Amino acid sequence: MKFFVDTADIADIKDLASTGLLDGVTTNPSLIAKSGRNFLEVVEEICGIVEGPVSAEVTALDVDTMLAEGRKLAKLAKNIAVKVPLTWDGLKACKVLTGEGTMVNVTLCFSANQALLAAKAGATFISPFIGRLDDINLDGMELIHEIRTIYDNYDYATQILAASIRTANHVKEVAMLGADVATVPPAVLRSLVNHPLTDKGLEQFLADWKKTGQKIL
Ligand code: E4P
């Protein structure tokens, strides 16, 4: 499974990219607002840090303006994935932009039928929002399972990009369900390495090693 980080914070992106384990970045208008940066400038900077797809979202609601915005974003860098909302106009824009060779991430997906439409529109990525479904007591994981089944039934190439991930457990569950990508907030991504028995075991090994009086270097 690929890991994208869900942020527009440059320091976090640089730090996580230095692990060699980061496959891409997703942003949205709320994350851009949180960064306090100019949208086009920050997205271009992110594209220079990571080689993989960087999602940048259009803000228009009509297809013509979405296309104009999407084409402008796509010109920023080769690794831009234009993010469009899951509306009829968004799907139309998806079809046109993918036809032009631009990666498209269809966002704000909350049902399997929406994901089916996005695949038919040629989306590179579909972004089902798990946490926001959980917030209203619906099962985000069931949605990932449904989309995986439908995409496998028809061999759709659209990648399932599990989004709105809030916990390490969400990451494990979407991996078990076969999501292609998980986009994860920086803190949750960093937390994946943690286990108290790893810390305890390492402490014991180092204490015992010290007793030997030896050095490797
Ligand atoms: C995905 O692309 C979105 O940016 C994101 O995952 C939304 O997460 P949230 O529901 O925690 O805001």
48-86 residue pLDDT tens: 999 999 999 999 999 999 999 999 999 999 999 999 999
Q: pLDDT below 70 — which residues of the chain?
A: none
Ligand 1: distance of its center to the CA of 31 in Å?
9
Q: What is the pLDDT of residue 12?
A: 98
CB proximity list for 26: less than 8 A, separation 6 or greater: 4, 5, 6, 54, 55, 83, 105, 127, 161, 163, 183
Closest atom of ligand 1 to 83 CA is 2
101 torsion bin: left (phi>0), alpha (psi -120 to 50), beta (else) = left
One-letter amino acid of 192: L
Q: How many CA atoms lie within 13 A of 27 on its CB side?
A: 32
DSSP string, 62-85: SHHHHHHHHHHHHTT-TTEEEEEE
Q: What is the pLDDT of residue 11?
A: 98
Residue 83 catalytic?
A: yes
* Pocket residues: Cβ below 6 A from ligand 1: 6, 26, 28, 107, 127, 129, 131-132, 163-164, 183
Q: What is the pLDDT of residue 127?
A: 98
State the pTM of this model: 0.96
Q: What is the pLDDT of residue 123?
A: 98
Q: What is the pLDDT of residue 115?
A: 98
Q: Name the residue at shortest CA distance from atom 7 of ligand 1.
A: 164
